[in-house]
Structure 1
């Protein structure tokens, strides 16, 4: 197993180390996925299926994220 680290900037951005980019075959403009489970993160290159799914549900999910929705659910 290989490990690498990176430091967050004040804008919460981090550089993906070269050995990680190489292992995942990442290039500028690629989309990456963060899978979160039990306090751990798995980083992977997004597959075409990930991107298709995200695009398909994006409009549906955004209709539930209005200011009125936020206000209605604030006290729950």
Structure 2
């Protein structure tokens, strides 16, 4: 697997509620604005943070990104939501 070139390295701290502030340098690099949707791409050795492009309104389907809730039974149970 090719190693990614690193332009910068920053850290942030996780709160007791599993929240963190995305550092300004990262927000600037991804051109993030309030309300933007983020994608976490999980690999064997890292997690990649990406800005989702286009009009992906999570309120249309709040379960869309939770693959563990994607069974046929879940689809039936939440069909009216």
TM range (shorter): 0.5 to 0.7
Deviation at 1:17, TM superposition (A): 0.2
* Unaligned segments of structure 2, at least 5 residues: 1-6, 65-69, 76-81
The structure in which a higher percent of residues are helix is: 1
- Report the RMSD for the aligned CA atoms in angstroms: 3.0
Q: Which structure has the bigger radius of gyration?
A: 1
Q: Deviations over 1:4-46 (max 9, x none)?
A: 1100000100100000000000011111000000130000101
The TM-score with structure 1 as length reference comes to 0.65
Runs of 4 or more above 2 Å deviation:
61-66
The TM-score with structure 2 as length reference comes to 0.62
Q: How many residues align?
A: 62
Q: 1: distance between equivalents of 2:43 and 2:24?
A: 25
* Unaligned segments of structure 1, at least 5 residues: 67-76
